[in-house]
Chain A
Amino acid sequence: MIGQAIADGLLTGGILALGAIGYSLCAHMLKFANFAHAEMLTWGAYMALAVITFLPAGQPIGPFSFGWPLLVAIVVSCIGTGLIAIAADTLVFSRLRKRRANSLTLVFASFGIALILRNLVLFVWGADAHYYGQELQISLEVLPNIRMMPDQVLVLALTVALVVALHLFLKYSRIGVAMRSMAENPALSQVCGIDIAKVVRWTWMLSGALAAIAGVFAGLTVQIRPEMGFNMLLALFTAAILGGTGSLFGAVAGGLIVGLAESLSALVIPTGYKAAVPFGLLLIILYLRPQGLFSRSARV
């Protein structure tokens, strides 16, 4: 029972981690909490659904529930969601930054963008749940008494691969170093010859793409609904804050802790209270270590 709860928690945590990394990157770089980030997960999931609808149905790959169209859809969805994030920045956030708006104004603007994006999904796709496929899967016994669907195993493996790839990108690529530089000191980055507008676009693209993947993974392992992102919002924020905003591995650890806490809580409290677990965790973190577990010092 506990083993199964841990496996389920790790799966939820992995998806949360991908969403939290994207949120954390933007929050660290642009110094505000983007409440519209959760809607990027929703848009990512629905964009992939739209692409699949237009592509010819493919045979499922191996034991998985999906065929090659979903792989194409993920790529298109990453680009599309990244472009939505860039558009939101160009049309709203960058204009506010130029007018020296404070971070609270940016937060409220992000509420507005979140409402627009969520209601656009409702308008286009309706309120009903959707699925990427109707294939039935047989669960595998990955460890004694722990069963997982092949899709879930793949999602976990891809999450690990993505985190490692992102770490290498941020550590060794030119743009990754520029992103880390800008997060610490935008003015100094400018005098290093870094085009900060370009770095900001890269950040939104990366953040949008990660949100899209998280959205597709959530859609693949649960279902696609207009409020799926909104329902994950608090858990994403908790994961990012728990790990320490701006810390890649912190966001991963935060996501896993929140996912595990949610899943394990179902063993001791009624499942109806599961959604309150991130709230509780958030309060405890903000009280004990507001800078997060993996931050050296408090950030302003």
Chain B
Amino acid sequence: MSAPVCEARNLRASYIPGMPIVFDISVTVDAGELVTLIGPNGAGKSTFLKALAGLVLVEGGEVKLGGQRISGLPTHEIIAAGVGFVPQTSNVFSSLSIEDNLISGGHTLPRSVLRERVQRAFEHFPALADRRRAAANVLSGGQRQMLAVARALMTDPRVIMLDEPTAGLAPKIVHEVLDDLRRLAKSGVAVLMVEQNAKAALRVSDRAYVLVEGRNHMTGTAADLLDNDAIAEAFLGFRRKS
């Protein structure tokens, strides 16, 4: 059996050495799979995602990408190894043009490939192409998210990680963004996202992990978790009629 595209095993992570926020979390994501991390506020979901990208201190456990250990590497090397990352806030360079945002995303690419990837991004996201020279701060919330994803895809990552990609978006846009992520996973990219809007996220996900207080609480297919009464009541905001 081949190794999962991305695998975190017994990960322990902190912002301040010796004061972990994430204790012993294990997650795997395969190619073409959309996996969601859900849980209450303070569960360590975002910190876990940042730990995968090397943005916070990893104090224990390991992260592998395609079987190769990447934990402990500096962030730019983790990204170059094949990870795309979309932060929750400030996920585009507002003062830079849309095109320069994409160029920043392709910083590690050779010049000839970079041009072709920028072009490809504009073909995939025509709404961005129309305003390529405009500063990113003129974009709407949904368009900014689109640009953030396009930027993260510039390097053709094997796994893309998104921290609350629908935060602050209108309900209609939420579904568009999640449908886009579903299509992205279908194209073969491994997608791992943290999402507060658990119900909407589970509807497009293959699997999910429920994190509580920095630990794995439960895992299963998205369909199973949607059918689970305890999960529905605790995290999805509704109670099933008996």
Binding site for B on A (CB under 8 A): 174, 177-178, 180-181, 184-185, 187-196
User: Is A185's CB under 8 angstroms from B93's CB?
Assistant: yes
A residues in contact with B108, CB < 8 Å: 193
Shortest beta-carbon distance from A196 to chain B in Å: 7
Q: Which residues of chain B are near A174, meaning CB under 8 Å?
A: 103, 107, 111
* Contact between A180 and B95, CB atoms less than 8 A apart: yes
Closest 6 CB pairs of A and B: A193-B79, A191-B85, A190-B75, A193-B108, A181-B104, A195-B76
State in angstroms the CA–CA spacing of A195 and B79 once bound together: 10
Q: Which residues of B contact A184 (CB under 8 A)?
A: 93-96
Given contacts A178-B107, A196-B76, A188 and B87 within 8 Å (CB-CB): yes
Q: Nearest chain B CB to A100's CB is how many angstroms away?
A: 10
Q: A71 → chain B, closest Cβ, in Å?
A: 31
Q: Is the CB of B103 within 8 A of A177?
A: yes
B55 touches A193 (CB 8 A): no
Beyond the given A181-B93, A181-B96, please list 9 additional residue pairs across the A-B interface where CB-CB is below 8 A: A180-B100, A181-B104, A191-B87, A191-B152, A192-B104, A192-B107, A193-B76, A193-B155, A195-B76
Which residue from chain B places its CB closest to the CB of A185 in the assembled complex?
B90
Chain A-chain B contacts (Cβ-Cβ < 8 Å), number: 62
Residue of A nearest to B74 (CB): A195
- Cα of A164 to Cα of B111 in the assembled complex, Å: 23
Q: How far is the CA of A196 from the CA of B107 in the complex (A)?
A: 12
Chain B positions 72-113 with a Cβ under 8 Å from a chain A Cβ: 74-76, 79-80, 85, 87, 90-96, 100, 103-105, 107-108, 111
Query: Distance (Å) between the CB of A125 and the closest chain B CB?
Result: 41
Please name all residues of chain B whose beta carbon is closer than 8 Å to the beta carbon of A190 when the two chains form the complex: 55, 75-76, 79
A191 touches B107 (CB 8 A): no
B53 on interface, CB distance cutoff 8 Å: yes
